[in-house]
Amino acid sequence: MVKNTSMRWRLPLVCLLWEVAMIVLFGVFVRFDPEADAHWKEEQHQKNLTSDIENDFYFRYPSFQDVHVMIFVGFGFLMTFLQRYGFGAVGFNFLLAAFGIQWAILMQGWFHSFENGKILIGVENLINADFCVGSVCIAFGAILGKTSPVQLLILTLFQVTLFAVNEYILISLLHVKDAGGSMTIHTFGAYFGLTVTTILYRPNLEQSKDKQGSVYHSDLFAMIGTLYLWLYWPSFNSAISNHGDAQHRAAINTYCSLASCVLTTVAFSSLLQKKGKLDMVHIQNATLAGGVAVGSGAEMMLTPYGSLIVGFLCGIVSTVGFIYFMPFLESKLHIQDTCGIHNLHAMPGLIGGIVGAVTAAAATEEVYGKEGLISAFDFTGDYKDRTPSIQGGFQAAGICVSLAMALAGGAIVGGILKVPFLGDPADENCFADDVYWEVAFGLLSISTSPEKRLVYFLKRRCPGPIPIWTQTL
């Protein structure tokens, strides 16, 4: 039975209806934050702010732009490593993220920025929306090449919703610190995606096995994604930390962890390969695990050497994951994880949650200063009696909640995505752009296999008898 993968009506319908819904909901709910509103001049007088530079815009906008690049260029290009799926990687990531940030502004707004019936947005909301979508990009990595754009939009709708609920439980109810999202973004996003891909298991996927690898140039495109993720991760982990020392510290810790992670990734990539040659897959992915794993702890006094240790371990765990765990997960647990998000986000995300819990539990007034400790963990108001060790316990609870939400949510959403009329590709068409994209000259123009193109050409054009050697290919 041939699958109907035409998007002609389904995709436009979803896009247009949902965008109209966004407009209506934004119209009803979304307004500017005082710092972005034209009344800010008055606000300045009231708050006795002497300078325009006190506007949160100047504290966070540069980090926001870095995060923005990570979501669209970083994740988008990281996934172009597949030889024939570059359009889908960059293009669908673009689509789902563009929708996701709108829905995230609403969902997160209702939970966190809702005042007098309105969601008031400023630059921090934009960063948080990007963060939320980051978790969808992570999940996309697991199902890359195996779903239609309609399925991806549905996934985004549900995952953003669940993300916001999970985040609310962690940040507002458990009062957990997770500025770089080890738990809310990585653990949640990755286990959610892994559950979805397990539900969508395709037993005959080896039919498109030849397309599941990379070619030389696609690996270079992917390195653009890797490097921008790696470079801007310090901005990611510090973007919504408290002003001042917390942002500063989060950036330094992340920088250290990432640097260390590169060394152990290279070491194990070479060590575990028969001929000692480096594998681009590891360099592209495992080098980033260090950023994931300090997502909770970076703004705490993790210290530079603590960060180096975390990065050191994660480079190893992630690379070993690619070499040993991933084939095992696919063959035994039926988890077909295209990009290996289990190695880059799931395991390092869990480690990150634990690192955050331990670092919080170990916090002392000596290390933070009295005022610093209160400020770092926001031990004020309802939480003024919370101690570091209790905070550590709540951090640990946050990991469990995120994991539970991811597994349960992923199972439900995976089930929804199995609805037959969503236009997913047949097994033999997975990982190929020509299902959903106009591709110039058909796939024969892609510089993958010159042999195939030659044979195709010869068979199609030769009027005389075909030389014998072309028949044996």
Give the one residue of 165, 168, 227, 393 binding a second copy; rule: CB under 8 A: 227
Residue 387 as a binder of a second copy (CB under 8 A): the answer is no
What is the pairing mode between strands 114-115 and 30-32? unpaired
Say if CB 201 and CB 334 are below 8 A apart. yes
Burial class (CB in 10 A: 0-12, 13-18, 19+), 385: exposed
What is the pairing mode between strands 118-121 and 114-115? antiparallel
Q: Which stretch binds a second copy (CB under 8 A): 305-313, 326-334, 340-348, 408-416?
A: 305-313
Q: How far apart are CA 267 and CA 340, in angstroms?
A: 19
Give the one residue of 154, 293, 357, 376 binding a second copy; rule: CB under 8 A: 376
Say if CB 395 and CB 175 are below 8 A apart. no
Give the one residue of 184, 214, 391, 395 binding a second copy; rule: CB under 8 A: 214
Residue 35 per-residue DSSP state: G
CB atoms under 10 Å from CB of 46, counted, come to 8
317: which residues sit within 8 A by CB, 6+ positions away? 289, 343, 347, 348, 351
Written as one letter, the residue type at 316 is: I
The site string for a second copy over 29-58 (x = CB under 8 A, - otherwise) reads -xxxx-xxxxxxxx-x-----xxxxxxxxx
Give the one residue of 47, 209, 243, 418 binding a second copy; rule: CB under 8 A: 243
Nearer to a second copy, 199 or 223 (CB): 223
Q: How far is the CB of 40 from a second copy (least distance, A)?
A: 4
Q: Which stretch binds a second copy (CB under 8 A): 87-95, 155-163, 176-184, 406-414?
A: 87-95
Q: How far apart are CA 344 and CA 350, in angstroms?
A: 11
Q: How far is the CB of 188 from a second copy (least distance, A)?
A: 22
- Segment 88-117, which members bind a second copy (CB under 8 A)? 90-91, 94-95, 98-99, 101-102, 105
Q: How far is the CB of 334 from a second copy (least distance, A)?
A: 26
Q: How far is the CB of 306 from a second copy (least distance, A)?
A: 9
Count, residues in the chain: 473
Among 58, 49, 84, 296, smallest CA distance to 170 is for 296
Count CA within 13 A, CB hemisphere, residue 111: 22
Residue 121 as a binder of a second copy (CB under 8 A): the answer is yes
Say if CB 107 and CB 157 are below 8 A apart. no
Nearer to a second copy, 283 or 403 (CB): 283
Nearer to a second copy, 213 or 393 (CB): 213
Q: How far is the CB of 96 from a second copy (least distance, A)?
A: 10
Give the one residue of 115, 206, 207, 305 binding a second copy; rule: CB under 8 A: 305
Q: How far is the CB of 412 from a second copy (least distance, A)?
A: 25
- Segment 405-444, which members bind a second copy (CB under 8 A)? 433, 436-441
Nearer to a second copy, 191 or 236 (CB): 236
Among 320, 265, 322, 321, smallest CA distance to 288 is for 265
Count of residues interacting with a second copy (CB under 8 A): 160
Q: How far is the CB of 210 from a second copy (least distance, A)?
A: 11
Say if CB 318 and CB 343 are below 8 A apart. yes
Give the one residue of 110, 161, 168, 267 binding a second copy; rule: CB under 8 A: 267
- Segment 137-156, which members bind a second copy (CB under 8 A)? 149
Q: How far apart are CA 79 and CA 222, in angstroms?
A: 6
The site string for a second copy over 281-300 (x = CB under 8 A, - otherwise) reads --x---x-------------
Say if CB 433 and CB 88 are below 8 A apart. yes
Nearer to a second copy, 415 or 442 (CB): 442
Among 233, 224, 117, smallest CA distance to 186 is for 233
